[in-house]
């Protein structure tokens, strides 16, 4: 869903979440070992007499050994030189415990010496440059010079953020201008045209909207949608743009969206969805939900292909929620295959709770059809879990279902 960008950060992945641990340029290479400066800086900053948050640990090139020397630059609260030896001993004890060896050099400096960014982060590269220029460079700067540096350092990021915000606003404005031009066409088709013609118009309008708005869509696996065979398309629900993306890709083969009953309450939404042959179901009434599952099974047996969002709802937060079982029960009863469809990047374009469209690269992966192993409840559950595993693999989002509880229901509701 777009090109990779090397941010220069170091991180680890756990349960689908990325945790940043530091910057590559701050890593010290000493004797073949990678040493992170953060823990030692915090520990030294906690010593009495050292200014908290005013410690820089960095690597300085050693021309003799070809490796890096570990240097600790620490600001002192006072200029009592008699404490230097004790502080150096304590710092080296901390270094041995945290990085396995004492520091090669420890430099004490007055306040306002350790260079920082406008947001207060330690500038270790600048600290190393000060150190390598010699002890005379490690001295406090004039207040006006520090202020000027902060202003200049903060101006460029602020300008970049401002330009990004302006670009984002122009992108959203263009997208909604395109929508204002195209929506009446789709709505008119929904009002007067039969379902097949309405679907054809909607597919064209959806493609125009995505192309003119600048939202690229890359689709893989469309060959898995064999013509002439009714199927159930199970799609992860990430955004109100999901249906637009699907419409832009799917040729009409008797498809019918399955939507929540609440959409029938508004005239515009009801008219638009009904024009595409949408079937409305009850999410919260168990008895009616079971009845709707049987209706979906009968529709599939008659040759209709159903498009369902088995999560049953969407949220702003990233992640694949548990699946409801009703659609899979219908597929099992009808003996039709379920095709997993994974949407990736649509949530980034339009999140729940906002109508602010953003740039995003969208990827759609259509998996191979999965046939139910039987017509009973256990076969429906097995089918649900198999489909969910495929979508989870390709959607690029973490799994929000507890282990052993991939379904979002305990009863037979869609």
Q: State CA 11 to chain mean position distance.
A: 15
Residue 285: its pLDDT value, please?
57
Q: Give how far Cα 29 sits from Cα of 58, 134, 228, 264, Å.
A: 10, 22, 62, 64
Helix 242-249 and helix 195-213, axial crossing angle in degrees, nearest 10: 110
Tokens of 336: 């039709």
CB atoms inside a 10 Å sphere around CB 273: 19
Instruction: Tell me, yes or no, if the two domains 9-140 and 177-395 fold the same way.
Output: no
pLDDT tens over the chain, length 414 residues = 345 677 777 788 877 678 877 777 778 777 677 788 888 999 999 998 899 999 999 988 876 776 788 999 999 887 777 788 899 999 999 999 988 889 989 999 888 888 888 778 888 888 888 888 765 445 555 667 767 766 776 787 788 889 989 999 999 999 999 999 999 999 999 999 999 999 999 999 999 999 999 999 999 999 998 777 899 999 999 999 999 999 999 998 889 898 888 888 888 889 999 999 888 887 655 556 667 677 888 888 888 899 999 998 889 989 999 999 989 999 999 999 999 999 999 999 999 999 999 999 999 999 999 999 999 999 999 999 999 999 999 999 999 987 655 556 544 444
Give me the pLDDT at residue 110, please.
86
The pTM score is 0.66
What fold, for 9-140? Answer: GMP Synthetase; Chain A, domain 3 (3.30.300)
Instruction: Kindly give the pairing relationship between strand 68-76 and strand 255-260.
Output: unpaired
| Distance, CA of 359 to CA of 116 (rounded, Å) | 33
Long-range contacts of residues 42-50, Cβ cutoff 8 Å, at least 24 apart? 43/94, 43/98, 44/72, 44/74, 44/91, 44/94, 45/74, 47/87, 47/90, 47/91, 47/94, 49/76, 49/77, 49/78, 49/80, 49/83, 49/87, 50/74, 50/75, 50/76, 50/77, 50/87
Residues 30, 33, 34, CA angle at the centre, nearest 5°? Answer: 95
Domain boundaries, the chain: 9-140, 177-395
What topology is assigned to 177-395 in CATH?
Answer: Glycerol-3-phosphate (1)-acyltransferase (3.40.1130)
Tokens matching residue 390: 């495929």
Give the contacts of 355 (CB within 8 A, at least 6 positions apart): none
């Amino acid at each position: 869903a777009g090109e990779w960008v090397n941010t220069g950060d170091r991180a680890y992945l756990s349960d689908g979440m990325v945790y940043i641990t530091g910057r590559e340029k701050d890593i010290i290479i000493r004797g073949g070992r990678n040493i992170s400066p953060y823990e030692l800086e915090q520990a030294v900053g906690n010593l009495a007499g050292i200014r908290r948050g005013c410690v820089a640990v960095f690597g300085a090139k050693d021309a003799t050994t070809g490796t890096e020397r570990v240097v600790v630059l620490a600001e002192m609260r006072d200029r009592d030189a008699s404490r230097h030896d004790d502080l150096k001993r304590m710092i080296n004890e901390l270094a041995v415990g945290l990085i396995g060896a004492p520091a090669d050099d420890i430099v004490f400096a007055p306040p306002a010496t350790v260079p920082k960014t406008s947001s207060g982060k330690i500038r270790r590269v600048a600290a190393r440059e000060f150190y390598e220029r010699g002890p005379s460079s490690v001295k406090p700067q004039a207040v006006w010079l520090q202020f000027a540096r902060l202003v200049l350092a903060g101006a460029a990021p602020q300008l970049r953020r401002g330009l990004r915000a302006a670009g984002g606003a122009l992108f959203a404005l263009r997208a909604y201008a395109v929508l204002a031009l195209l929506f009446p066409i789709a709505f008119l088709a929904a009002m007067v045209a039969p379902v097949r013609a309405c679907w054809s118009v909607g597919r064209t309008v959806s493609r125009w909207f995505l192309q003119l708005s600048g939202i690229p869509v890359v689709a893989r696996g469309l060959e898995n949608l064999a013509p002439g065979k009714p199927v159930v398309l199970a799609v992860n629900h990430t955004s109100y743009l999901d249906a637009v993306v699907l419409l832009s890709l799917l040729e009409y083969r008797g498809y019918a969206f399955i939507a929540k009953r609440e959409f029938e309450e508004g005239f515009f939404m009801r008219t638009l969805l009904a024009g595409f042959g949408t079937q409305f179901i009850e999410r919260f009434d168990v008895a009616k939900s079971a009845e709707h599952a049987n209706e979906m099974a009968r529709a599939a047996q008659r040759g209709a292909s159903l498009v369902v969002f088995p999560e049953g709802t969407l949220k702003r937060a990233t992640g694949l929620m548990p699946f409801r079982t009703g659609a899979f029960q219908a597929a099992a009863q009808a003996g039709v295959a379920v095709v997993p469809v994974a949407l990736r990047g649509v949530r980034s374009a339009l999140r729940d709770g906002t109508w602010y469209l953003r740039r995003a690269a969208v990827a759609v992966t259509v998996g191979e059809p999965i046939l139910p192993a039987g017509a009973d409840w256990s076969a429906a559950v097995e089918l649900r879990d198999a489909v969910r595993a495929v979508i989870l693999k390709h959607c690029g989002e973490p799994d929000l279902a507890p282990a052993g509880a991939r379904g979002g229901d305990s009863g037979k509701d869609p």
